[in-house]
Amino acid sequence: MHAGIGSSTPCDPAQDKAAGEMATRRSVLLAGHWETLIRLSVLLPVRVTLGQKMVWQRGMTGAVRGRATSAPAPTLMATPTRALMDEPVVLEARHLTPRCPVTVRARLRCEEGDLWEALAHYYADRNGVLNLSRDEAQGGSYTGCEPMGLFWSLFPAPGEREGLRLRKKNVETPYTFQVSLLNGHVSSHGVRSHDEGEELAAVTVERWYTAPGVRRIDIREEGLVGTLFLPPGPGPFPAVLDCWGMGGGLVEYRSALLASRGVASFALAYFGHKDIPGPLDAINVGDDYIQAAFQLLQNHPQVCGSRVAVLGLSYGAYLALRIATQLPVNPRCIIAINGPIGSMAQGVEADGKVVSFGATKVYSHDLPGYVDFKRATLPEFLPLSTKIKVENLRCPLLLVTSEDDISCSVLENAAQIKEGLQASNKSHLLTWVSYPGAGHLLEPPYSPNARISLWTMRPTKLMVCWGGHTAPHAAAQEDAWKKVLDFLECHLRGGN
């Protein structure tokens, strides 16, 4: 049975005293998960005291200036300041006025130039300390005790383009977040008094998909298009063939993060990529292409050939299931996230090629220009010739579904998989976990959800409805990622 979050059928597995005439900097050498020394610089602005009121003076450069007092200035610390995307960060502010209201804000300028932000309202404790891992947000982008809320609740700032989805293109550079501590409770649109919203302290946080030592290798051979990521060291490593959905192109960030966790991963492009011959609106490759990708990974000298899994999201989940049930290869295990058991496209050839998605009917969702594929992916509407032969499954399957997926009928498809395995006396192969409130796009942890995003501009502008409510979707991503890693650990490293 599928269940709520966290439910599944898993496998067994100085204080500072400095005050001066101007702002000072301190540097602390830290050693962390990255096995390298990194330098953390924390700006300690000086505040001016007039009676009981703190007056902050800001110069044209944006630096905070003031006359020295015996009281230390507020600080904001992040531990660590440099981490992988799936690692939590502890944010703590000190030297605040006891019980004072403050806002903590995160901002990110993405690779396309769009500004993303999140903010939350807090009160310092009686000692003038705020710790986001302990204290509850009273409002803003989220409420409650959410240590990583500033990251997963990011949203395009007011005035940015509509339909944005945050996706990393260059995985060899980090996301760089500017985290600020602001006076009072403010919002993106709020009207502020002369001192409300002034920056009291700030820190920069880097979030990486690629750990030091991970190797990125472009693959353009045997007609294949993709990117192979290898963990540090000589190997051989267990491996994953990583397939995304109908957004097309080459998506690398999940594979980079898997390699950062010790699993070689081949991010495969199969649709909508300039290096794959044929029209961009068609899947111009078939089963032989997918099989060749699996075998290339299997035969790599730094991969343990008998320990290769397949991971897919959306249409990629369908491909993962197709590989495991209809191709002459033997994956060690399969992970299918929010996908159908067949192809909704018209003109599907016997080997899985799709002549064109232009003939696929899309169904309007509330307003013109908003579409989903909910009805089109109901099992009864999927062409019988494209449906997977679930009775042929020979390896463990982790099935992940989201109960607020408004793009795909994932629960109905998962139920058919379960029924088919029961009828074939193969129920023991299935682990099914389902998440209330989560949407279609289950990404690595602490990624912001896009409930709706731009899908295409041609021939008309279309937005796809993915679903998912911010807080439960974030919780689902964190839990599902842990289950994915545990499942891979169990079946790729454990056993014979």
Do the beta carbons of residue 337 and residue 313 sit within 8 Å?
A: yes
16 catalytically annotated: no
How far apart, in whole angstroms, are the C-alpha atoms of residue 411 and residue 432? 10
- The tally of CA atoms less than 13 A away on the side-chain side of residue 245 is 21
From 86, 287, 405, 479, the catalytic residue: 405
From 8, 153, 265, 314, the catalytic residue: 314
440 catalytically annotated: yes
405 catalytically annotated: yes
Ramachandran assignment for 135, one of left (phi > 0), alpha (psi -120 to 50 degrees), beta (any other): beta
From 300, 440, 473, 491, the catalytic residue: 440
Catalytic center residues: 314, 405, 440
